[in-house]
Amino acid sequence: MLRFFVPALVIVLPMMLTYFLWVQWFIISMIADAFLIALWVRIVKPNNVRTVEFLGSFNRILRAWFHLIIPVLETTRAQVLYRRNFPVEVEWVTHDNVTAYIGLNVIYYVRDDWLNSKEGNIFKSIYNIDDPKTMMRATIDEQLRWMIVSFTHKEIFAKREEIGEAIEERLREKLSTFWFTLDSIQVRDVKLDNTVMHAMNKVVETQKFKEAAMNEAEAKKIMQVKEAEAEKESKILLWEGMAGQRMKIAEWFKESVDLIKKTDDSLNAEKVLQFLLDSSRIETLWNIWARDSSKLIYLNENLEGRSSKLIAGSDIMES
């Protein structure tokens, strides 16, 4: 009741005195009252709370709503209930003397247990620790340095999950003593010294070039093998075709000899074969002569294959 009566008295009394004494002081009184009203009213937003201290002693907790306090005699302290993100970066030396940088994101909050007394989480989270971020930074820094020095620079990238779990367990225990709740920890970034990172990138780049060269060589090998196999199959097919062609020619000659011998029994196989060869030669010469701009050197031969005369020129000489 006091917090309603005292502010009202403080506001109304100057206005009454101004009215009865000096009317010209009315404007000054209104400004003073507006200032007192601002000290009297407290508006608490959602997911926020305020503790009220009366003459320095804890009195009550204000939650989201419109509240009145006693100006000057009562003061408030704020606490947020939503989840907060706190980034932390730690730099230390690994087991093999390489400088490592690890960045973390700490997400924490105060759990509202709806107790308005000194036994509640809100009271303890405000009055048991002055700066929770400094405490978290110190805890993470201590734990991370102890872990980094036990790893080599090659191992530290594979230990992200292990680092996060160890820090989370240690920090959750530490925060609970001050009635804060740890939501989660994410290992945001793991980096090494720039010189070492450049060297590692060069190693990776060289390895990639090596793999690319090996893949290219393997591809060329496969192509050469395939080309050789294709050439082999092509030659096999070519020889098979030539063999088949020879077989067909032999069959044709045999059929032709048999047909000619039937017309004249006195002809032997040799004469018939010579006749067929001469016919084939004449047909070939005719085909050459029939082409435009053709030049022919004709070697006249007798039937025994002996050269008797050589005629050169652009004309075709017939025997």
Top CATH class, 84-192: alpha beta
Better-predicted residue by pLDDT, 70 or 44? 44
The identity of residue 152, as a single letter, is T
Would you state the structure tokens that stand for residue 145, as one six-digit string?
Answer: 């340095």
Q: What is the pLDDT of residue 201?
A: 60
d(CA 152, CA 156): 6
End-to-end CA distance of the chain: 148
pTM attached to this predicted model: 0.57
The predicted structure's pLDDT at residue 300: 57
The residues, any chain, with a CB within 8 Å of residue 196's CB and separated by 6 or more, are 98, 99, 153
Domain ranges of the chain: 2-79, 84-192, 210-267, 268-319
Mean pLDDT of 121-148: 90
Q: What is the DSSP string of 78-122?
A: EEE-S-EEEEEEEEEE-TTS-EEEEEEEEEEE-------STTSHH
Q: What is the pLDDT of residues 107-126, one digit of tens each?
A: 999 999 999 899 999 999 99
Q: Is the pLDDT of residue 304 over 60?
A: no
Q: What is the pLDDT of residue 319?
A: 37
As given in the structure block, the two tokens for residue 135 are: 């405490």
Q: What is the pLDDT of residue 318?
A: 39
What does the DSSP 8-state code read for residue 265?
A: T
3-state class percentages of the chain: helix first, strand second, coil last, to nearest 5: 55, 20, 25
Q: How many CB atoms lie within 10 A of CB 54?
A: 15
Question: What's the CA gap between 94 and 149, in Å, rounded?
Answer: 4
Note the Cα 42 to chain centre separation in Å.
50
User: Which of 33-37, 153-157, 304-308 has the highest mean predicted lDDT (pLDDT)?
Assistant: 153-157
- Give mean pLDDT, residues 293-318: 48
Residue in the block written with tokens 């209104």:
30
Average pLDDT, the chain: 78
Average pLDDT over residues 285-308: 59
